[in-house]
Amino acid sequence: MVLAANPAGRRDESADLTQSLTISIDAMGGDHGPSVVVPACAKALADLPHVRLLLHGDEAAIRAEMERASGLDGRVEIRHAERVIAMDEKPAQALRRGKGTSMWAAVEAVREGEADCAVSAGNTGALWAISRLILRMIGDVERPALVASMPHASGITTFLDVGANVDCDARLLVEFAVMGEAYHRAAHGVARPTVGLLNVGSEEMKGHEEVREANRILREGGVDLDYRGFVEGDDITKGCVDVIVTDGFTGNVALKAMEGAARFMYGELRAALTNGPFATLGFLLARSSLLRFREKISPPPAAPILGLNGLVLKCHGSADERDFAKALRAAAEVAQSGFASEIERNMRRLPAALAPAAAASADGAA
Protein backbone atom coordinates (compact mmCIF):
# COMPACT_ATOMS: atom_id res chain seq x y z
CA MET A 1 0.00 0.00 0.00
CA VAL A 2 1.29 3.46 -0.83
CA LEU A 3 1.17 5.32 2.47
CA ALA A 4 1.48 9.06 2.98
CA ALA A 5 3.32 10.42 6.03
CA ASN A 6 1.40 12.68 8.39
CA PRO A 7 2.72 15.20 10.95
CA ALA A 8 2.57 12.63 13.77
CA GLY A 9 5.15 10.48 12.02
CA ARG A 10 2.68 7.73 11.17
CA ARG A 11 1.42 6.77 7.76
CA ASP A 12 -2.10 7.21 6.48
CA GLU A 13 -3.31 3.60 6.26
CA SER A 14 -6.56 4.65 4.59
CA ALA A 15 -4.67 5.48 1.40
CA ASP A 16 -5.71 3.72 -1.78
CA LEU A 17 -3.79 0.78 -3.15
CA THR A 18 -2.21 1.95 -6.37
CA GLN A 19 0.53 -0.54 -7.21
CA SER A 20 -0.13 -3.52 -9.45
CA LEU A 21 0.07 -6.74 -7.43
CA THR A 22 -0.54 -10.45 -7.88
CA ILE A 23 -1.75 -12.53 -4.93
CA SER A 24 -1.34 -16.31 -5.01
CA ILE A 25 -4.09 -18.15 -3.09
CA ASP A 26 -4.40 -21.66 -1.70
CA ALA A 27 -8.05 -22.02 -2.73
CA MET A 28 -8.46 -25.40 -1.02
CA GLY A 29 -7.12 -24.40 2.42
CA GLY A 30 -9.18 -23.88 5.55
CA ASP A 31 -12.37 -25.44 6.84
CA HIS A 32 -14.44 -24.36 3.82
CA GLY A 33 -12.13 -24.25 0.77
CA PRO A 34 -13.49 -22.76 -2.49
CA SER A 35 -16.99 -22.17 -1.08
CA VAL A 36 -15.52 -19.33 1.02
CA VAL A 37 -12.36 -18.44 -0.92
CA VAL A 38 -14.03 -17.74 -4.28
CA PRO A 39 -16.80 -15.38 -3.09
CA ALA A 40 -14.25 -13.71 -0.81
CA CYS A 41 -12.10 -13.06 -3.89
CA ALA A 42 -15.08 -11.36 -5.55
CA LYS A 43 -15.54 -9.11 -2.50
CA ALA A 44 -11.84 -8.25 -2.34
CA LEU A 45 -11.42 -7.47 -6.03
CA ALA A 46 -14.12 -4.82 -5.80
CA ASP A 47 -11.80 -2.90 -3.44
CA LEU A 48 -8.51 -3.83 -5.13
CA PRO A 49 -8.65 -2.61 -8.73
CA HIS A 50 -4.91 -3.09 -9.28
CA VAL A 51 -4.73 -6.66 -7.98
CA ARG A 52 -4.92 -9.95 -9.87
CA LEU A 53 -5.34 -13.37 -8.29
CA LEU A 54 -3.91 -16.84 -8.89
CA LEU A 55 -6.20 -19.54 -7.44
CA HIS A 56 -4.54 -22.90 -6.84
CA GLY A 57 -6.66 -26.01 -6.33
CA ASP A 58 -9.27 -28.31 -7.86
CA GLU A 59 -10.18 -26.50 -11.07
CA ALA A 60 -13.66 -28.04 -11.32
CA ALA A 61 -14.55 -27.07 -7.75
CA ILE A 62 -13.20 -23.55 -8.18
CA ARG A 63 -15.06 -23.00 -11.48
CA ALA A 64 -18.30 -24.25 -9.92
CA GLU A 65 -18.01 -21.62 -7.20
CA MET A 66 -17.05 -18.95 -9.74
CA GLU A 67 -20.29 -19.58 -11.62
CA ARG A 68 -22.22 -18.82 -8.44
CA ALA A 69 -20.19 -15.74 -7.52
CA SER A 70 -20.47 -12.29 -9.06
CA GLY A 71 -17.79 -9.68 -9.54
CA LEU A 72 -15.06 -12.01 -10.80
CA ASP A 73 -13.38 -10.90 -14.00
CA GLY A 74 -10.30 -11.52 -16.11
CA ARG A 75 -8.04 -10.73 -13.15
CA VAL A 76 -8.54 -14.26 -11.78
CA GLU A 77 -6.47 -17.18 -13.06
CA ILE A 78 -6.98 -20.81 -11.99
CA ARG A 79 -3.97 -23.10 -11.55
CA HIS A 80 -5.08 -26.72 -11.16
CA ALA A 81 -3.57 -28.66 -8.23
CA GLU A 82 -4.36 -32.33 -7.79
CA ARG A 83 -3.97 -32.64 -4.02
CA VAL A 84 -4.80 -30.84 -0.78
CA ILE A 85 -2.96 -30.76 2.54
CA ALA A 86 -5.35 -31.73 5.31
CA MET A 87 -5.91 -29.44 8.29
CA ASP A 88 -4.69 -32.15 10.69
CA GLU A 89 -1.68 -33.25 8.63
CA LYS A 90 1.68 -33.16 10.42
CA PRO A 91 4.24 -30.71 8.98
CA ALA A 92 6.78 -33.46 8.24
CA GLN A 93 4.17 -35.41 6.27
CA ALA A 94 3.07 -32.24 4.48
CA LEU A 95 6.66 -31.62 3.38
CA ARG A 96 7.00 -35.13 1.99
CA ARG A 97 3.86 -34.92 -0.12
CA GLY A 98 3.75 -31.16 -0.60
CA LYS A 99 4.54 -30.96 -4.30
CA GLY A 100 1.35 -31.01 -6.30
CA THR A 101 -0.77 -29.60 -3.48
CA SER A 102 -2.60 -26.26 -3.64
CA MET A 103 -0.62 -24.89 -0.68
CA TRP A 104 2.75 -25.77 -2.19
CA ALA A 105 1.79 -24.25 -5.55
CA ALA A 106 0.56 -21.04 -3.93
CA VAL A 107 3.88 -20.49 -2.13
CA GLU A 108 5.97 -21.62 -5.10
CA ALA A 109 4.40 -18.88 -7.24
CA VAL A 110 6.02 -16.33 -4.91
CA ARG A 111 9.46 -17.93 -5.28
CA GLU A 112 9.12 -18.01 -9.06
CA GLY A 113 8.25 -14.32 -9.17
CA GLU A 114 4.73 -14.93 -10.48
CA ALA A 115 3.11 -13.45 -7.36
CA ASP A 116 3.96 -10.79 -4.78
CA CYS A 117 2.55 -12.76 -1.89
CA ALA A 118 0.67 -15.94 -0.99
CA VAL A 119 -2.39 -16.42 1.24
CA SER A 120 -3.66 -19.66 2.78
CA ALA A 121 -6.23 -20.57 5.44
CA GLY A 122 -4.79 -24.08 5.56
CA ASN A 123 -2.79 -26.06 8.11
CA THR A 124 -0.56 -23.59 10.02
CA GLY A 125 2.30 -25.99 10.71
CA ALA A 126 2.34 -27.21 7.12
CA LEU A 127 2.27 -23.67 5.73
CA TRP A 128 5.14 -22.64 8.03
CA ALA A 129 7.27 -25.65 7.01
CA ILE A 130 6.52 -25.45 3.28
CA SER A 131 7.12 -21.69 3.18
CA ARG A 132 10.42 -22.07 5.00
CA LEU A 133 11.55 -24.83 2.60
CA ILE A 134 10.52 -23.07 -0.60
CA LEU A 135 11.38 -19.45 0.19
CA ARG A 136 14.26 -19.93 2.66
CA MET A 137 15.15 -17.41 5.36
CA ILE A 138 16.31 -13.81 5.18
CA GLY A 139 19.99 -13.54 6.10
CA ASP A 140 20.68 -14.86 9.61
CA VAL A 141 17.03 -15.35 10.64
CA GLU A 142 16.79 -18.69 12.42
CA ARG A 143 13.03 -19.29 12.28
CA PRO A 144 10.00 -17.55 10.77
CA ALA A 145 7.45 -16.00 13.10
CA LEU A 146 3.73 -15.33 12.70
CA VAL A 147 2.81 -11.72 13.43
CA ALA A 148 -0.64 -10.32 14.26
CA SER A 149 -1.72 -6.67 14.23
CA MET A 150 -3.80 -6.25 17.37
CA PRO A 151 -6.19 -3.28 17.65
CA HIS A 152 -6.10 -0.84 20.53
CA ALA A 153 -7.80 2.49 21.20
CA SER A 154 -5.37 4.64 19.22
CA GLY A 155 -3.85 2.25 16.69
CA ILE A 156 -2.20 -1.13 16.23
CA THR A 157 0.11 -3.30 18.34
CA THR A 158 2.36 -5.73 16.46
CA PHE A 159 2.20 -9.05 18.35
CA LEU A 160 4.48 -12.02 17.68
CA ASP A 161 4.92 -14.98 17.61
CA VAL A 162 1.28 -16.14 17.42
CA GLY A 163 1.74 -19.81 16.61
CA ALA A 164 4.74 -20.69 14.46
CA ASN A 165 7.24 -21.57 17.23
CA VAL A 166 5.90 -23.26 20.35
CA ASP A 167 9.28 -23.54 22.12
CA CYS A 168 11.51 -20.45 22.04
CA ASP A 169 14.85 -19.78 23.67
CA ALA A 170 16.18 -16.33 24.51
CA ARG A 171 17.89 -15.92 21.11
CA LEU A 172 14.62 -16.53 19.26
CA LEU A 173 12.75 -14.04 21.42
CA VAL A 174 15.40 -11.42 20.70
CA GLU A 175 15.21 -12.29 17.00
CA PHE A 176 11.42 -11.83 17.08
CA ALA A 177 11.91 -8.42 18.72
CA VAL A 178 14.26 -7.35 15.93
CA MET A 179 11.88 -8.61 13.20
CA GLY A 180 8.77 -7.22 14.87
CA GLU A 181 10.31 -3.77 15.26
CA ALA A 182 11.32 -3.70 11.58
CA TYR A 183 7.87 -4.90 10.49
CA HIS A 184 6.04 -2.31 12.58
CA ARG A 185 8.21 0.50 11.24
CA ALA A 186 7.59 -0.52 7.63
CA ALA A 187 3.92 -1.53 7.90
CA HIS A 188 2.69 1.22 10.23
CA GLY A 189 5.11 4.07 9.57
CA VAL A 190 6.47 4.51 13.11
CA ALA A 191 10.04 5.79 12.88
CA ARG A 192 11.21 4.12 16.11
CA PRO A 193 8.71 1.59 17.47
CA THR A 194 8.74 0.74 21.17
CA VAL A 195 9.18 -2.93 22.11
CA GLY A 196 8.06 -4.98 25.11
CA LEU A 197 8.47 -8.61 26.17
CA LEU A 198 5.33 -10.42 27.36
CA ASN A 199 5.62 -11.83 30.87
CA VAL A 200 3.50 -12.75 33.89
CA GLY A 201 4.54 -9.53 35.59
CA SER A 202 6.59 -6.39 35.02
CA GLU A 203 9.15 -7.15 37.73
CA GLU A 204 12.64 -8.21 36.57
CA MET A 205 12.68 -11.43 38.62
CA LYS A 206 9.42 -12.81 37.17
CA GLY A 207 9.02 -15.26 34.30
CA HIS A 208 10.93 -18.35 33.21
CA GLU A 209 14.64 -18.38 32.49
CA GLU A 210 14.42 -17.82 28.72
CA VAL A 211 12.21 -14.74 29.11
CA ARG A 212 14.51 -13.25 31.75
CA GLU A 213 17.58 -13.92 29.59
CA ALA A 214 15.94 -12.32 26.54
CA ASN A 215 15.11 -9.32 28.72
CA ARG A 216 18.76 -9.07 29.81
CA ILE A 217 20.05 -9.23 26.21
CA LEU A 218 17.59 -6.61 25.02
CA ARG A 219 18.59 -4.31 27.88
CA GLU A 220 22.35 -4.90 27.89
CA GLY A 221 23.32 -6.60 24.64
CA GLY A 222 23.56 -3.56 22.43
CA VAL A 223 20.47 -4.28 20.31
CA ASP A 224 19.48 -0.88 18.91
CA LEU A 225 15.80 -1.01 19.88
CA ASP A 226 13.61 1.22 22.01
CA TYR A 227 13.05 -1.60 24.51
CA ARG A 228 10.66 -0.87 27.40
CA GLY A 229 10.98 -4.11 29.39
CA PHE A 230 8.29 -6.58 30.46
CA VAL A 231 4.61 -6.05 29.66
CA GLU A 232 1.60 -8.08 30.81
CA GLY A 233 -1.35 -9.66 29.00
CA ASP A 234 -3.71 -6.74 29.53
CA ASP A 235 -1.15 -4.44 27.90
CA ILE A 236 -1.75 -6.02 24.48
CA THR A 237 -4.81 -3.83 23.91
CA LYS A 238 -3.58 -0.77 25.84
CA GLY A 239 -1.10 0.39 23.23
CA CYS A 240 1.62 0.93 25.86
CA VAL A 241 4.23 -0.34 23.36
CA ASP A 242 4.17 -0.76 19.59
CA VAL A 243 5.59 -4.32 19.50
CA ILE A 244 4.96 -7.14 21.99
CA VAL A 245 7.10 -10.29 21.77
CA THR A 246 6.34 -13.77 23.11
CA ASP A 247 6.69 -17.45 22.18
CA GLY A 248 4.29 -19.07 19.72
CA PHE A 249 2.43 -21.11 22.36
CA THR A 250 1.58 -18.12 24.53
CA GLY A 251 0.91 -15.88 21.54
CA ASN A 252 -1.48 -18.32 19.91
CA VAL A 253 -3.44 -18.83 23.14
CA ALA A 254 -3.66 -15.06 23.67
CA LEU A 255 -4.76 -14.42 20.08
CA LYS A 256 -7.50 -17.07 20.14
CA ALA A 257 -8.69 -15.94 23.56
CA MET A 258 -9.06 -12.40 22.22
CA GLU A 259 -10.85 -13.64 19.10
CA GLY A 260 -13.31 -15.58 21.26
CA ALA A 261 -13.83 -12.63 23.59
CA ALA A 262 -14.53 -10.31 20.64
CA ARG A 263 -17.13 -12.70 19.20
CA PHE A 264 -18.74 -13.15 22.63
CA MET A 265 -18.93 -9.40 23.31
CA TYR A 266 -20.45 -8.60 19.93
CA GLY A 267 -22.89 -11.51 20.15
CA GLU A 268 -24.08 -10.51 23.62
CA LEU A 269 -24.43 -6.87 22.61
CA ARG A 270 -26.40 -7.80 19.51
CA ALA A 271 -28.68 -10.13 21.52
CA ALA A 272 -29.35 -7.41 24.10
CA LEU A 273 -30.18 -4.88 21.38
CA THR A 274 -32.61 -7.18 19.56
CA ASN A 275 -34.55 -8.35 22.62
CA GLY A 276 -37.90 -6.78 21.83
CA PRO A 277 -39.32 -4.39 19.23
CA PHE A 278 -37.98 -1.16 20.75
CA ALA A 279 -34.53 -2.62 21.29
CA THR A 280 -34.54 -3.90 17.71
CA LEU A 281 -35.43 -0.45 16.42
CA GLY A 282 -32.48 0.95 18.38
CA PHE A 283 -30.25 -1.75 16.93
CA LEU A 284 -31.28 -0.87 13.38
CA LEU A 285 -30.61 2.82 14.02
CA ALA A 286 -27.19 2.06 15.52
CA ARG A 287 -26.27 -0.73 13.10
CA SER A 288 -23.49 1.13 11.30
CA SER A 289 -21.89 2.10 14.62
CA LEU A 290 -22.13 -1.46 15.86
CA LEU A 291 -20.45 -2.76 12.72
CA ARG A 292 -17.62 -0.30 13.27
CA PHE A 293 -17.41 -1.52 16.86
CA ARG A 294 -17.12 -5.12 15.65
CA GLU A 295 -14.36 -4.16 13.22
CA LYS A 296 -12.49 -2.33 15.97
CA ILE A 297 -12.48 -5.16 18.51
CA SER A 298 -11.88 -7.98 16.04
CA PRO A 299 -8.30 -9.34 15.89
CA PRO A 300 -6.74 -9.49 12.41
CA PRO A 301 -7.96 -12.07 9.87
CA ALA A 302 -4.45 -12.89 8.62
CA ALA A 303 -0.94 -13.12 10.04
CA PRO A 304 2.16 -12.55 7.88
CA ILE A 305 5.04 -15.00 8.36
CA LEU A 306 8.12 -12.86 9.04
CA GLY A 307 11.69 -13.81 8.17
CA LEU A 308 11.14 -15.42 4.76
CA ASN A 309 12.53 -14.40 1.38
CA GLY A 310 8.98 -13.73 0.25
CA LEU A 311 5.62 -12.84 1.75
CA VAL A 312 3.16 -15.49 2.98
CA LEU A 313 0.07 -14.75 5.08
CA LYS A 314 -1.83 -17.26 7.21
CA CYS A 315 -5.59 -16.70 7.43
CA HIS A 316 -7.37 -18.55 10.23
CA GLY A 317 -8.90 -21.86 9.20
CA SER A 318 -12.50 -21.02 10.11
CA ALA A 319 -12.47 -17.76 8.12
CA ASP A 320 -15.75 -16.79 6.46
CA GLU A 321 -16.10 -14.72 3.26
CA ARG A 322 -15.72 -11.43 5.11
CA ASP A 323 -12.59 -12.59 6.95
CA PHE A 324 -10.89 -14.00 3.87
CA ALA A 325 -11.66 -10.87 1.84
CA LYS A 326 -10.08 -8.79 4.62
CA ALA A 327 -7.07 -11.12 4.56
CA LEU A 328 -6.59 -10.45 0.84
CA ARG A 329 -6.69 -6.70 1.39
CA ALA A 330 -4.21 -7.08 4.25
CA ALA A 331 -1.95 -9.07 1.93
CA ALA A 332 -2.03 -6.29 -0.67
CA GLU A 333 -1.21 -3.69 1.98
CA VAL A 334 1.67 -5.62 3.56
CA ALA A 335 3.12 -6.52 0.16
CA GLN A 336 3.70 -2.83 -0.51
CA SER A 337 5.15 -1.97 2.91
CA GLY A 338 8.79 -2.94 2.17
CA PHE A 339 9.09 -4.70 5.53
CA ALA A 340 11.43 -7.44 4.24
CA SER A 341 14.25 -4.96 3.58
CA GLU A 342 13.70 -3.45 7.04
CA ILE A 343 14.01 -6.89 8.65
CA GLU A 344 17.19 -7.67 6.72
CA ARG A 345 18.69 -4.36 7.83
CA ASN A 346 17.77 -5.01 11.46
CA MET A 347 19.10 -8.57 11.40
CA ARG A 348 22.63 -7.33 10.63
CA ARG A 349 22.74 -5.94 14.18
CA LEU A 350 21.77 -9.20 15.88
CA PRO A 351 25.03 -11.26 15.87
CA ALA A 352 26.97 -8.52 17.66
CA ALA A 353 24.21 -8.11 20.23
CA LEU A 354 24.11 -11.85 20.96
CA ALA A 355 27.90 -12.26 21.20
CA PRO A 356 28.15 -11.23 24.90
CA ALA A 357 25.40 -13.70 25.83
CA ALA A 358 27.15 -16.50 23.94
CA ALA A 359 30.46 -15.70 25.65
CA ALA A 360 28.81 -15.68 29.07
CA SER A 361 27.19 -19.03 28.33
CA ALA A 362 30.53 -20.51 27.27
CA ASP A 363 32.25 -19.20 30.43
CA GLY A 364 29.51 -20.74 32.56
CA ALA A 365 29.86 -24.10 30.84
CA ALA A 366 33.63 -24.05 31.39
Per-residue model confidence as pLDDT tens digits over 80-93? 998 999 988 888 88
144-303+340-366 CATH fold = Isopropylmalate Dehydrogenase (3.40.718)
CA separation for the pair 107, 167 (Å, rounded): 25
Per-residue pLDDT, 59: 94
How far is the CA of 93 from the CAs of 30, 82, 83, 129, in angstroms?
Answer: 18, 17, 13, 10
Q: Which residues contact 176 (CB under 8 A, 6 or more apart)?
A: 145, 160, 161, 168, 245
Pairing state of beta strands 155-160 and 243-245? Answer: parallel
pTM of the model: 0.78
The answer to whether 215 touches 229, Cβ cutoff 8 Å, is yes
CA separation for the pair 293, 310 (Å, rounded): 33
Q: Is the fold of 1-136+308-335 the same as that of 144-303+340-366?
A: yes
Question: Which residue type, as a one-letter code, is found at position 319?
Answer: A
CA separation for the pair 238, 156 (Å, rounded): 10
Give the CB-side neighbour count of residue 266, counting CA atoms within 13 A: 18
CA separation for the pair 52, 65 (Å, rounded): 18
1-136+308-335 CATH fold = Isopropylmalate Dehydrogenase (3.40.718)
Please tell me which residue, 188 or 83, carries the higher pLDDT value.
83
Question: Which residue type, as a one-letter code, is found at position 49?
Answer: P
Per-residue pLDDT, 71: 67
Mean pLDDT of 310-319: 88
Question: What are the structural domain ranges in the chain?
Answer: 1-136+308-335, 144-303+340-366
DSSP class of residue 223 equals: -
Task: Determine which of 144-153, 260-269, 341-350 has the lowest per-residue pLDDT on average.
Answer: 341-350
Per-residue pLDDT, 105: 95
Question: Which residue type, as a one-letter code, is found at position 151?
Answer: P
CA separation for the pair 45, 329 (Å, rounded): 9
Mean pLDDT of 20-33: 92
Per-residue model confidence as pLDDT tens digits over 100-135? 999 999 999 999 999 999 999 999 889 989 999 999
pLDDT at 270 over 70: yes
